[in-house]
Amino acid sequence: MPALDTGNQLSFTAGEIIIREGDFDTCAYRIISGHVEVFRNTGSREVVLARLGPEQFFGEMNLVLEASRAASVRAVEPCVVSVITQETFNRTLKSDPESALPMLRVLFERLRIMNAKYLHAVSQQNNAPAASKPLDPPAVSAATGTRVRQVLVLSAETDEARKAMDMPSVEINSFPFRIGRKTTQAAKSDAFSLNDLYLPDGEPFSVSRNHLAIDMMPNGMYVVEDRGSTLGTVVNGDVIGIRTGRFEAFLTKPKNALVLGAEKSTFRFSLSLQPAR
**Which range among 65-74, 91-100, 136-145, 191-200 shows the weakest confidence by mean pLDDT?**
136-145
More confident residue, 195 or 136: 195
Q: What is the pLDDT of residue 132?
A: 46
Write the CB contacts of 270 (distance below 8 Å, at least 6 apart in sequence).
154, 155, 157, 255, 256, 257, 258
Q: What is the pLDDT of residue 125?
A: 52
**Which range among 85-94, 110-119, 126-135, 257-266 shows the weakest confidence by mean pLDDT?**
126-135
Q: What is the pLDDT of residue 56?
A: 86
Q: Among residues of the chain, what percentage have pLDDT more than 90?
A: 36
Contact 219, 248 (CB under 8 A): no
Q: What is the pLDDT of residue 150?
A: 78
Q: What is the pLDDT of residue 151?
A: 87
In the predicted model, is pLDDT for residue 106 greater than 80?
A: no
Confidence grade of residue 251 (pLDDT, cut at 50, 70, 90): very high
**For 166, left (φ over 0), alpha (ψ -120 to 50), or beta?**
left
Q: Helix or strand or coil: residue 164?
A: helix
Q: What is the pLDDT of residue 213?
A: 93
Q: Residue 275 forms beta bridges with which residues?
A: 150
Among positive and negative, which fits the CA dihedral 174, 201, 164, 246? positive
In the predicted model, is pLDDT for residue 276 greater than 80?
A: no
Confidence grade of residue 176 (pLDDT, cut at 50, 70, 90): confident
More confident residue, 110 or 144: 110
Q: Range(s) for CATH 2.60.200.20 in the chain? A: 97-277
Q: Range(s) for CATH 2.60.120.10 in the chain? A: 9-95
Q: What is the pLDDT of residue 277?
A: 67
Q: Which CATH number fits domain 9-95: 1.25.40.10, 3.30.70.360, 2.60.120.10, 3.10.129.10?
A: 2.60.120.10
**For 11, left (φ over 0), alpha (ψ -120 to 50), or beta?**
beta
Rounded to 10 degrees, what is the CA torsion of 203, 162, 271, 260? 10
Write the CB contacts of 110 (distance below 8 Å, at least 6 apart in sequence).
60, 61
pTM of the model: 0.61
Contact 261, 232 (CB under 8 A): yes
Q: What is the pLDDT of residue 83?
A: 92
Domain 97-277 has CATH 2.60.200.20: yes
Instruction: Supply the mean pLDDT for the chain.
Output: 81
Q: Helix or strand or coil: residue 266?
A: coil
Give pLDDT tens digits for 257-270. Answer: 999 998 889 999 99
